[in-house]
Amino acid sequence: MSVRYADIIIDISHEAIDRTFQYRIPEELEGQIRMGMCVSIPFGRGNSVRKGYIIGFSDKPEIDESKIKSIISINDNEITTSKTLIELAAFIRKTYGSTMINALKTVMPVKQRVKGLVKREVRLLLEPESVSRYIERYEKKRAVAKLRLLRELSEDIVIPYQLVTGKLNISTATLNAMEKEGVIAIEEEGYYRNIFKGSVDNEGSRYIKEIPNMEQQNAIDKVMDDYKAGVKGTYLIKGITGSGKTLVYIEIIEHILEMGKQAIVLIPEIALTYQTVKRFRRRFGDKVTIMNSKMSKGERYEQFEKAKNGEVSIMIGPRSALFAPFQNLGIIVIDEEHETTYKSDQPPKYHAREVAIYRALMCGASVILGSATPSVESYNKAISGEYTLLNLTKRANESAELADVTVVDMRKELEQGNKSMFSNHLKTQMMDRLRKKEQIMLFINRRGYAGFVSCRSCGHVFFCPHCDVSLTVHDSGTTKERLVCHYCGYEQKKPGKCTECGSPFIAGFGVGTQKVEEQVKKLYPDAKVLRMDMDTTRKKGDHEKILSAFEGGEADILVGTQMIVKGHDFPGVTLVGVVAADTTLFESDYRASEKTFDLLTQVAGRAGRGEKHGEVVVQTYKPDHYAISTASEQSYEMFYEEESAYRKMLSYPPFSHMLAVFMECPDDKISNELADKIASEIKSNFKTHMIGPCEAGIYKLGDRYRRVIYVKDKEETKLTMVKDYLEDYLDNTYKYKECYVSFDLDPMKSY
């Protein structure tokens, strides 16, 4: 029988994750050892027994076989969060590719130790009758500093350490001496950073009980009845915008918490944290914490420690919150489950929905997916019975009807002589709302001033010198206009003359958020305007600041990108304008129609959520496209029928699976050679449908050349075999070590 070896990490922390140790698997443990398992091993020169976790296997020794030690035993009783997360990392590694190390760093993103905050105080230990005796002693010895501190402590028994060393000017040596004398004690107490500031700080005191309507209660009852009966499934709540999906989540989570369990709530973007957290903290107070990328290392580390220690019961945040180290996880909620941000852009390119379902299966938890516009994949699984479908067809506020949607054909506007970015109908409606003191949201799915910049004389387009993409105009506010690459960050001042022909006629084409904001201010100079995009939300707290100001009525008009249309509830908004509905419609992506439908439906849901009726104006050059016509009617079923027929005909997910093999090399010739070699290996070894190799949509990025191959098959396992084969092939092919190859199962973007 051949000897097998296990790769083991001794300590799970960022410092140690990159270092594994190889151990021999004893014959008596063969067949029992699994990935993620906790084992006892001899470690170091003294062979002290330590705990370790298995993260890989091999048949070959990495060092002299005589120096390899054997695993002592399996720790069967070791049921830890670490074990669960390692098993989850193994699932991610197997399904989505990349290395086990990267998978571990994904599921344990905050294990790097950060110095905690400590509150220090100086406490008087003397009884009242002893204080006067020590005062006399210090007076005789002329111990001025000791005397000064003792007199202060006789008034206040406990004084903050900073006050003692600062205002009272007491040295450390004096404090140490008094501590040795038994006069004082220096006490330390760790405390957590306050991550809830401003209006979300004390939301627990503002809770008002909301009563679910019949549809909401039916959804709550179905999930909880199944849960109590031992059925832990996946549920898709398909609810129109404003139907009260969040209340359903809250009610279910309350029941779960009463059973001693914990909950994870995923939201697609940081921008949604503000309103979501407000609602949850009103209901659950300090049981709620958050996780997002804008938090400091210390803040993220502390929140995960709180979860691990059972000090909080609900973790809210984007993708990374899925890996909260809860010991008794009962439910995972994924709000706006259709959003592409749930798919990681970096290896391993996992989808949070699939990983959440796997984690729930491991923990005996349920999963709730919620959306007004479910992903085609999720809805397909719901109608086929793999998920349980729960419908919410009415708005929670019965007086709030769905907004009227008006589709404006911008081709006709141009024929009528209107060259403005705003149709006559939208301008009329905006003036009407401003007169009535009602709020307006304007959506444009592009930040900056323009899509690209070119010379109107010779047609030269300004490109990034490092990437195969055009530069975009931005207004810095100080140095005026600059040209920016949205991919690598390169920027330059906007030239006064064309670098090719010397013409001064340089202009931007297309429309961005800054341009919309500028035009709104020109048309309505008395209106207060806020802009929300990546440029205005770079700092921590910027999202909350802008949303809070708009919610508080400090602005009449909010101009923004996708982050303003997802899940926000502003009762004062009665008009939403979609400046250019075609922005996402013609992307080179098979999901382009779905993205457009989702965005327009979400946008339409922002208007008329209060007592007053709302209107949505959709400006487009393609009013007859099914994504736009079905969104204007807010009919998901009509859209799904059209979209699924298209996907089925072309063998796209969910009717077939797809693997993107993405290559990036520092040299164009090597990039082409590698792509051809990988394509040849796939053709020779697998019977699948292959597209490519071809140049990526952005062929050059950061001075590296990019190519892609797409492989389709109805069986996901076949594509996993392709991925595994290519990973092994590349590991043993040294010629392409400078190239980067990644795998993306069922990609949610084009390459």
Structure confidence by residue, pLDDT tens digits, 314-366: 999 889 899 998 989 999 999 999 998 899 988 899 999 999 999 999 999 99
Q: Would you state the pLDDT for residue 43? A: 85
Beta strands in 470-525 (DSSP E): 472-475, 481-484, 491-493, 506-509
Which CATH number does the domain 198-392 belong to among 1.20.144.10, 3.40.50.1240, 3.40.50.300, 3.40.50.720? Answer: 3.40.50.300
Which range, of 467-471, 482-486, 522-526, 692-696, averages the lowest pLDDT? 467-471
Distance CA 280, CA 287 (A): 9
Q: Would you state the pLDDT for residue 199? A: 46
- For residues 185-207, average pLDDT: 60
* Structure token pair of residue 147: 């005397």
pLDDT at position 208 over 70: no
Q: Would you state the pLDDT for residue 398? A: 65
Q: How would you label 722-745 residue by residue, b for 16+ Cβ within 10 Å and e otherwise?
A: bbeebeeebeeeeebeebebbbbb
Would you list the domain boundaries of the chain?
Answer: 5-107, 117-191, 198-392, 404-447+512-647, 451-509, 657-745
Q: DSSP secondary-structure letter at 121? A: E
Which of 23 and 490 is assigned the larger pLDDT? Answer: 23
Q: Would you state the pLDDT for residue 250? A: 94
- For residues 153-174, average pLDDT: 86
pLDDT at position 627 over 50: yes
pLDDT at position 202 over 60: no
Q: Would you state the pLDDT for residue 588? A: 67
Q: DSSP secondary-structure letter at 194? A: -
The structure tokens 């770079």 sit at 538
Q: How far apart are the first and last CA of the chain?
A: 46
pLDDT at position 15 over 50: no
Q: What is the CATH code of the structural domain delimited by 404-447+512-647?
A: 3.40.50.300
Our measurement of the distance from residue 105's CA atom to the centroid of its chain's CA atoms, rounded to an integer in Å, reads: 16
Query: Which pLDDT band, with edges at 50, 70 and 90, does 388 fall under?
Result: very high
Give tens-digit pLDDT for 67-118: 889 989 888 665 566 778 888 888 898 899 887 778 888 887 544 455 556 6
Q: What is the CATH code of the structural domain delimited by 5-107?
A: 3.40.1440.60
**82-to-54, 325, 358 alpha-carbon distances in Å:** 11, 8, 16
- For residues 663-674, average pLDDT: 92
Q: Would you state the pLDDT for residue 370? A: 95
- For residues 452-467, average pLDDT: 74
Q: What is the mean pLDDT of the chain?
A: 83
pLDDT at position 266 over 90: yes
Give tens-digit pLDDT for 510-536: 567 788 888 889 999 989 988 887 777
Domains 198-392 and 404-447+512-647 share a fold: yes
Q: Is 351 exposed, middle or buried (0-12, 13-18, 19+ CB in 10 A)?
A: buried
Give tens-digit pLDDT for 361-370: 999 999 999 9
Query: Which pLDDT band, with edges at 50, 70 and 90, does 610 fall under?
Result: low
* Structure token pair of residue 238: 């398909």
Which range, of 22-26, 110-114, 380-384, 608-612, averages the lowest pLDDT? 110-114
pLDDT at position 642 over 90: yes
Q: Would you state the pLDDT for residue 264? A: 96
**297-to-163, 305, 534 alpha-carbon distances in Å:** 28, 12, 21
pLDDT at position 160 over 50: yes
pLDDT at position 169 over 80: yes
pTM of the full structure: 0.76
The structure tokens 């996992």 sit at 350
Q: DSSP secondary-structure letter at 341? A: G
Q: What's the CATH superfamily of 657-745?
A: Ribosomal protein S10 (3.30.70.600)
Q: Is 77 exposed, middle or buried (0-12, 13-18, 19+ CB in 10 A)?
A: exposed
- For residues 712-738, average pLDDT: 90
Q: Helices (DSSP H) in 5-48: which residue ranges? A: 14-17
Highest mean pLDDT among 78-87, 203-212, 644-653: 644-653
Q: Would you state the pLDDT for residue 569? A: 64
* Structure token pair of residue 354: 């699939």
Q: Would you state the pLDDT for residue 14? A: 43
pLDDT at position 390 over 60: yes
**Inter-axis angle of helices 716-731 and 668-685, to 10 degrees?**
130
By residue count, the chain amounts to 751
